[in-house]
Amino acid sequence: MAMVCLSDFEAYAKKYLPKMAWDYFAAGADDCTTRDENILAYKRIRFRPRMLRDVSTMDIRTKILGTEISFPVGIAPTGFHQLAWPDGEKSTARAARAMNTCYIASTYSTCTLEEISAAAPSGLRWFQLYIHRNRAASQQLVQRAEALGFQALVLTVDLPYTGKRRDDVRNGFRLPPHMKVKNLERAFEVCKMSPLDPSVTWNDIYWLRSLTCLPIIIKGILTREDAELAVRHGVQGIIVSNHGGRQLDEGPATIDALVEVVEAVRGRVEVYVDGGIRKGSDVLKALALGAKCVFIGRPALWGLAYKGEEGLQDVLRILQDEFCLSMALAGCASTSEIGPHLVQFSRL
Amino acid sequence: MAMVCLSDFEAYAKKYLPKMAWDYFAAGADDCTTRDENILAYKRIRFRPRMLRDVSTMDIRTKILGTEISFPVGIAPTGFHQLAWPDGEKSTARAARAMNTCYIASTYSTCTLEEISAAAPSGLRWFQLYIHRNRAASQQLVQRAEALGFQALVLTVDLPYTGKRRDDVRNGFRLPPHMKVKNLERAFEVCKMSPLDPSVTWNDIYWLRSLTCLPIIIKGILTREDAELAVRHGVQGIIVSNHGGRQLDEGPATIDALVEVVEAVRGRVEVYVDGGIRKGSDVLKALALGAKCVFIGRPALWGLAYKGEEGLQDVLRILQDEFCLSMALAGCASTSEIGPHLVQFSRL
Amino acid sequence: MAMVCLSDFEAYAKKYLPKMAWDYFAAGADDCTTRDENILAYKRIRFRPRMLRDVSTMDIRTKILGTEISFPVGIAPTGFHQLAWPDGEKSTARAARAMNTCYIASTYSTCTLEEISAAAPSGLRWFQLYIHRNRAASQQLVQRAEALGFQALVLTVDLPYTGKRRDDVRNGFRLPPHMKVKNLERAFEVCKMSPLDPSVTWNDIYWLRSLTCLPIIIKGILTREDAELAVRHGVQGIIVSNHGGRQLDEGPATIDALVEVVEAVRGRVEVYVDGGIRKGSDVLKALALGAKCVFIGRPALWGLAYKGEEGLQDVLRILQDEFCLSMALAGCASTSEIGPHLVQFSRL
Amino acid sequence: MAMVCLSDFEAYAKKYLPKMAWDYFAAGADDCTTRDENILAYKRIRFRPRMLRDVSTMDIRTKILGTEISFPVGIAPTGFHQLAWPDGEKSTARAARAMNTCYIASTYSTCTLEEISAAAPSGLRWFQLYIHRNRAASQQLVQRAEALGFQALVLTVDLPYTGKRRDDVRNGFRLPPHMKVKNLERAFEVCKMSPLDPSVTWNDIYWLRSLTCLPIIIKGILTREDAELAVRHGVQGIIVSNHGGRQLDEGPATIDALVEVVEAVRGRVEVYVDGGIRKGSDVLKALALGAKCVFIGRPALWGLAYKGEEGLQDVLRILQDEFCLSMALAGCASTSEIGPHLVQFSRL
């Protein structure tokens, strides 16, 4: 079967992954409304394509936090990549490097930061973290990441508690015995309650700032009010995200929330978005609405499930080609020409 | 099968209840549009979740008419609980007390008020009534309820005649011979026409007031005009309700009507809502739009049908957990922090 | 099988009528969009029901052109009733008289006006006509109708040519040999082209007026502009109609068009509506939006197909009961209390 | 099976064409959203039909660029007609001439311009072209077309690169060995990259203008901004088109884009539209919204697939009859009476 578009990889993963793993990756909170809305919301946005622009030479590069990537699609932080492919996050890191884009490694990786780092030493890597009840453990992780050359910290703020994902409850989801959340092994082995701290507030951004020189990106913002607070607390970037619809169900689709966040931020920090990206033209829409870059979650896992590093590269290459073609057909030869004039919200 | 969410209980009840009982509980008037809209209308409301609030300690209690309940979900009045479980309303009363919430016993109970009262003497119980052609019978019921420690009267005003529920007509619905509407046995045994009085008007609120010291709550209000009249006639509370979509089909969904009722009432009396609550996040939406508490009808019956008192407790516990989680994920640590800023109506 | 609502009769007719007859009655033009929209548009209207009105005594009568009918539902003109029941229009006339309502007999009846008249001499009957190329034939029909005690003329204006009903084309629809368009037998037996005159204009209303003392009702108006013209040309009533969606597809649903016609007419003449009435609550919506009475087309044919005169009475009785119940549940004890405050257009 | 409406021809073609050919003709870009929206958007437009106009004599002719055609439906440029019928574009040309309408021959024809011209010497033919990297080849084509009596040039501007049509990728679409893009055989036989020039800009309109006296029509405009530019660059006409949804997916439906293009053009040049025309009433809607004429793509191919020249005539005749009937039922006796008062956009 030819792998032509991302849904081909989805179909493959659904067919070949163990059900518990597929369900875990696919899960949304409650009725999965927000998970699905993330995709549907893109379909309500229409292009206003312009003709007769010279698109013979295409420049699809972008810069995030000053670093150039080959095209504006990075890998969002998702957990447990060994559920998709034996080499787990090492494959993910290699694919991102090969495609010259950014990989945000999750705290909940099944490889250590050291392994990830060693797999793709020269790649652009960011590190995603939660703030733990055990602050020393968080501090240690931050400092390990910084020492290993991760270039930014991505603080996830939408998970004071884990969302209710019905299939995971039904399946009694847990990692197979041979997989471990390796980054946390030492810190949490005796902790019985959730290691994440639900008392975290904006003030903890200052604490995190005190630990590291790395840029801090805040992930999980969905409102203008929180976007303003993020800027005021000195973060360097915002990822508009609803955790793939896995936390609070029936919040906004991320592409809809992006609009109000971008408006509130007024260019003071970079804004990114994840959730619902399934085609190159979705990337173009996100950039037209003000995102500097998008990150993909589940599609990256489908790529891994298909053929590991190579499969993920296939996924990224398809998105790259589709993004480039969409840009050209919309009349843009360079990412710098992308703007809100390219899109409108459909009446339906 | 794990009982993870309310629709699991619905599926169980549909499978195991006798068809006539299931159809009676599930019935909506005419095309069942309003019954279904009650649910769909919740899906058109989107959260605006806030991040980085301290949600380590959650307070989900509320007060209704001055009495604290453990969380803002009570049991709406529905008839004929023995159709769902042999112990009928006695089980319902016990489950409500166990969960420390409010149970509104229906006039059309298959247990007497005395039995209900004895089953859960310390529980918070309200009594639902209609005004009957035979006013003495209504008076007697009111005074029995008051004497038995029911703490409020809930006057249902949307049933001058019974709505047309096609399946009940097809099934020739009637109670099995061993069940009785026990509260009315003596009063109506020779009455051939419907015992309910379709000539009741707002003035009858004064008559009802003259019979009892209990607070009067009016159930079935759907417009700002009637909300204003209710306040002017001195009721203590309003339940926005369309009788589960069983009376006039194609009226408003209750969550939509809640908005205009709350606006009209301007805090002068407490406003509650029933209809369409299927998830903890629905409760959060109703509170964000101004309800002090919600009441569940069919889900309580599904719980009874599953395992009687225990099954209903399961249902309530799931709603409680989901409500608490939704609050935390939306950034609220206490019901007092819930407000209209948390929600917006979807464009679709 | 119990006949509980109109769709039961529809299912019966679909099952037992010959396919060619069913297809003819069911047909809509082109994609049948307007036929179906007539029904869907009712579902977009929501009631605003009022409570605690005295609805112990219900008055559902109305007057049309000064004549009282038992409730505001008449029989719209449809052709070829013998396709549904052997006695054809004679049964229709009898059922209408038995229910004390108005029957608009079609020019394309399979019984003569004389037969229809004799079947129900005391019934309220109107006569529907087209203006023919052969004006003498039209004149003759008008005068026959007047002499036979028909009390109004209903001029259909939306059929200069017959709409394209695909199934009729596929089926090669024609009447069985033993049925005839009896009213036209003599006038048109040598006419090869369509007998209807597509050159008719508003001036022909004056010609029609000159032939008869009967009130003239114009059927097929869908815009405010034409409503204004109708009033100016002296008609006594307007039936907002799109010919059951059988003429121009993708025009407005009649209940939507009713709103603008009523607004334009400003009470100067009576306005009626047909198309899409399937429940008593649809009647209530139409009256709330300004119709004096509604007319049913296909449901009457389903009733005939079920049991002739008796089946049509069943249909009318169900509509009557449902209409009465809807009124009571919406808080109206009399048709005179029905008004626009009862309804609102849904956001969806 | 009777061929009653265009979807009958579609069903025939889907059944009898080789899958690769059907897929090629049916293909849309990416998710085919725009391909399908072209059709759906027509369904959101409602007529406002007027009654009692004299429609006994119908005039459905129109003029495009000064030439009269029998009705406002021409044949849009589509490639590879031999995939549908052995005689290919020769049959298309003959059918268009027989119906006295305009045929826009595609550069990607499987017959030469000379063959097309010879097949229907007296027919109204326009020639569609792309600007090629090899400008001499383009120039040669233009001059051949002019010499052969093609009466206008239609420059397609929405294909700097070919859209991603998933089925064509899966099928590895290519022409069968016995078919050739005959017009380009000599010019491109050694060209390995796409022969089309993605560097074309508005300035190339001037270059094209310098080559020929023929009117230049620009095809593929979707925004008011580009419509304004087209007028300023001196074109004689605009075809609002999204290439049948085969280029940029999720751009606007053409009938929606038509509205803004017509508004921007303010009558300075003629505006046409293609995409989504499936019924005669669609033609009426397009004209009501300002199109001078519409062009059909896939339906013409279905007609060819059915019976070649004769099948295409059937398709055109059906559209003609339906258009004429729609006009009459909407109250227009002549195309000159068609205007925006005839339509409104549906709320849904």
**For C11-32, what is each residue's pLDDT tens digit?**
999 999 999 999 999 999 999 9
Residue B223 reports pLDDT greater than 60: yes
In angstroms, how far is CA A322 from the centroid of its own chain? 19
Predicted local distance difference test score (pLDDT) of residue D36: 98
- pLDDT tens digit string along B284-298? 999 999 999 999 999
- pLDDT tens digit string along B127-161? 999 999 999 999 999 999 999 999 999 999 999 99
Closest Cα in chain D to C223:
D48
- pLDDT tens digit string along A207-262? 999 999 999 999 999 999 999 999 999 999 999 999 999 999 999 999 999 999 99
Nearest to C161 among D47, D50, D329 (CB): D329
C contacts of D49 (beta carbons < 8 Å): 158, 222-223, 248, 251
- pLDDT tens digit string along D285-343? 999 999 999 999 999 999 999 999 999 999 999 999 999 999 999 999 999 999 999 99
Query: Do residues D217 and D249 touch, judged by C-beta distance below 8 A?
Result: no
Separation between Cα atoms, residue D291 and residue A334, nearest integer Å: 34
Q: Do chains C and D touch (3 or more CB pairs under 8 A)?
A: yes
Strand pairing class (B237-240; B270-274)? parallel
Active site residues of C: 243
Q: Do D46 and C201 touch (CB under 8 A)?
A: no
C276: left (phi over 0), alpha (psi -120 to 50) or beta: left
H helix or E strand, kind and range, residue B309: helix B298-330
Separation between Cα atoms, residue D337 and residue B141, nearest integer Å: 73
Beta strands (DSSP E) in A53-149 are 62-64, 67-69, 73-75, 102-105, 124-129
Separation between Cα atoms, residue B159 and residue B198, nearest integer Å: 8
Residue B63 reports pLDDT greater than 80: yes
Reduce the secondary structure of chain D to three states and give it as a string: CCCCCHHHHHHHHHHHCCHHHHHHHHCCCCCCHHHHHHHHHHHCEEECCCCCCCCCCCECCEEECCEEECCCEEECCCCCHHHCCCCCHHHHHHHHHHCCCEEEECCCCCCCHHHHHHHCCCCEEEEEECCECCHHHHHHHHHHHHHCCCCCEEEECCCCCCCCCHHHHHHCCCCCCCCCCHHHHHHHCCCCCCCECCCCCCHHHHHHHHHCCCCEEEEEECCHHHHHHHHHCCCCEEEECCHHHCCCCCCCCHHHHHHHHHHHHCCCCEEEEECCCCCHHHHHHHHHCCCCEEEECHHHHHHHHHHHHHHHHHHHHHHHHHHHHHHHHHCCCEHHHCCHHHEEECCC
Query: Do residues C251 and D47 touch, judged by C-beta distance below 8 A?
Result: yes
Cα–Cα distances in angstroms (integers) from residue D45 to residues D48, D259, D327, D346, D348, in the given order: 10, 12, 15, 6, 10
Closest Cα in chain A to D197:
A56
D contacts of C158 (beta carbons < 8 Å): 49, 51, 329
More confident residue, A36 or D192: A36
Predicted local distance difference test score (pLDDT) of residue A187: 60
For chain C, list the contacting chains (3+ Cβ pairs, <8 Å): B, D
Active site residues of D: 243
Separation between Cα atoms, residue A133 and residue A118, nearest integer Å: 29
Predicted local distance difference test score (pLDDT) of residue C1: 75
Mutate to test the interface with C, among B248, B255, B260 (most CBs of C within 10 A): B248
Mutate to test the interface with C, among D1, D43, D51, D56 (most CBs of C within 10 A): D51
Average of per-residue pLDDT across C146-172: 97
Predicted local distance difference test score (pLDDT) of residue A346: 79
Q: Which residues of C touch D (CB under 8 A)?
A: 30-31, 33, 44, 157-158, 160-161, 163-164, 166, 169-170, 197-202, 204-205, 220-223, 225-226, 229, 247-252
Average of per-residue pLDDT across A14-38: 98
Interface confidence, given as ipTM, is 0.97
Coil, helix or strand at residue B282: helix
| Angle between the N-to-C axes of helices D298-330 and D6-16, in degrees from 0 to 180, rounded to the nearest 10 | 170
Q: Do A325 and D161 touch (CB under 8 A)?
A: yes
Predicted local distance difference test score (pLDDT) of residue A190: 47
Q: How buried is A39 (Cβ within 10 angstroms: 0-12 exposed, 13-18 middle, 19+ buried)?
A: middle
Q: Which two tokens stand for residue A344?
A: 């409108």
**A246 belongs to an annotated ligand binding site:** yes
Nearest to B223 among C50, C54, C328 (CB): C50
To which CATH superfamily is domain C6-50+59-337 assigned?
A: Aldolase class I (3.20.20.70)
Separation between Cα atoms, residue C280 and residue C283, nearest integer Å: 5
The catalytically annotated residue of B81, B132, B243, B341 is B243
Predicted local distance difference test score (pLDDT) of residue D185: 73
**C245 belongs to an annotated ligand binding site:** no
**A79 belongs to an annotated ligand binding site:** yes
Mean pLDDT of chain B: 96
Q: Do chains A and C touch (3 or more CB pairs under 8 A)?
A: no
Closest Cα in chain B to A246:
B329
- pLDDT tens digit string along D117-155? 999 999 999 999 999 999 999 999 999 999 999 999 999
Q: Do B329 and A31 touch (CB under 8 A)?
A: no
Burial code (b: 16+ CB inside 10 Å, e: under 16) for D234-249 equals ebbbbbbbbbbbbbbb
Separation between Cα atoms, residue D122 and residue C44, nearest integer Å: 54
D contacts of C31 (beta carbons < 8 Å): 43, 279
Closest Cα in chain C to D285:
C250
Separation between Cα atoms, residue C37 and residue A202, nearest integer Å: 53
B186 band by pLDDT with thresholds 50, 70 and 90 = low
Report the DSSP beta bridge partners of residue C55.
none
Report the DSSP beta bridge partners of residue C153.
C127, C216
Q: Do D325 and C164 touch (CB under 8 A)?
A: yes
Q: If we measure between CA atoms, which residue out of C290, C4, A250 comes closest to residue B46? A: A250
Q: Do D248 and A55 touch (CB under 8 A)?
A: no
A contacts of B47 (beta carbons < 8 Å): 248, 250-252
Q: Do C247 and D329 touch (CB under 8 A)?
A: yes
D contacts of A53 (beta carbons < 8 Å): 201
Nearest to A157 among B51, B281, B330 (CB): B51
CB pairs below 8 Å between A and B: how many? 83
> In the Cβ-directed half-sphere of A60, how many Cα atoms lie within 13 Å?
26
- Going from N- to C-terminal start, the domains of chain A cover 6-50+59-337
Name the residue with tokens 């209940």. Answer: C255
Predicted local distance difference test score (pLDDT) of residue A184: 81
Separation between Cα atoms, residue B183 and residue B141, nearest integer Å: 8
Mutate to test the interface with B, among A250, A260, A348 (most CBs of B within 10 A): A250
Nearest to C249 among D56, D281, D348 (CB): D281
**D331 belongs to an annotated ligand binding site:** no
Predicted local distance difference test score (pLDDT) of residue D346: 79
B190 band by pLDDT with thresholds 50, 70 and 90 = very low
Work out the minimum CA distance from B248 to partner chain C, whole angstroms.
Answer: 6
Strand pairing class (C237-240; C216-221)? parallel
B contacts of A221 (beta carbons < 8 Å): 51
Separation between Cα atoms, residue C140 and residue C147, nearest integer Å: 10
Q: Do C223 and D326 touch (CB under 8 A)?
A: no
Separation between Cα atoms, residue A247 and residue D280, nearest integer Å: 50
| Angle between the N-to-C axes of helices C224-232 and C254-265, in degrees from 0 to 180, rounded to the nearest 10 | 50
Q: Which two tokens stand for residue C258?
A: 């009713």
Q: Which residues of A touch D (CB under 8 A)?
A: 2, 4-5, 43, 45-56, 279, 281, 321-322, 325-326, 328-330, 348
Residue A91 reports pLDDT greater than 80: yes
- pLDDT tens digit string along D240-299? 999 999 999 999 999 999 999 999 999 999 999 999 999 999 999 999 999 999 999 999
Q: How buried is B203 (Cβ within 10 angstroms: 0-12 exposed, 13-18 middle, 19+ buried)?
A: exposed
A295 band by pLDDT with thresholds 50, 70 and 90 = very high
Mutate to test the interface with B, among C329, C345, C347 (most CBs of B within 10 A): C329
Predicted local distance difference test score (pLDDT) of residue C187: 60
Q: Do C281 and B249 touch (CB under 8 A)?
A: yes
Cα-based torsion angle of the residue sequence D288, D294, D297, D302 in order, rounded to the nearest 10 degrees: 80
Q: Do B329 and A160 touch (CB under 8 A)?
A: yes
Cα–Cα distances in angstroms (integers) from residue B23 to residues A97, B14, C183, in the given order: 60, 9, 50
Mean pLDDT of chain C: 96
Coil, helix or strand at residue A156: strand
In this prediction the pTM is: 0.97
Lowest mean pLDDT among A18-32, A191-205, B2-16, B174-188: B174-188
- pLDDT tens digit string along A303-330? 999 999 999 999 999 999 999 999 999 9
- pLDDT tens digit string along B88-99? 999 999 999 999
Work out the minimum CA distance from A200 to partner chain B, whole angstroms.
Answer: 6
Q: What is the percentage of chain C residues whose pLDDT exceeds 70?
A: 97
Separation between Cα atoms, residue A250 and residue A213, nearest integer Å: 36
Nearest to D328 among C157, C160, C229 (CB): C160
Nearest to B222 among C4, C49, C328 (CB): C49
Lowest mean pLDDT among A36-45, A188-197, B274-283: A188-197
Report the DSSP beta bridge partners of residue A216.
A153
Strand pairing class (D216-221; D153-156)? parallel
Phi, psi for residue C80 in degrees, rounded to 5: 65, 50
- pLDDT tens digit string along D183-216? 887 665 545 568 899 999 999 999 999 999 999 9
Predicted local distance difference test score (pLDDT) of residue C190: 47
Q: Do D281 and C30 touch (CB under 8 A)?
A: yes
Separation between Cα atoms, residue A280 and residue A323, nearest integer Å: 4
Query: Do residues A154 and A219 touch, judged by C-beta distance below 8 A?
Result: yes
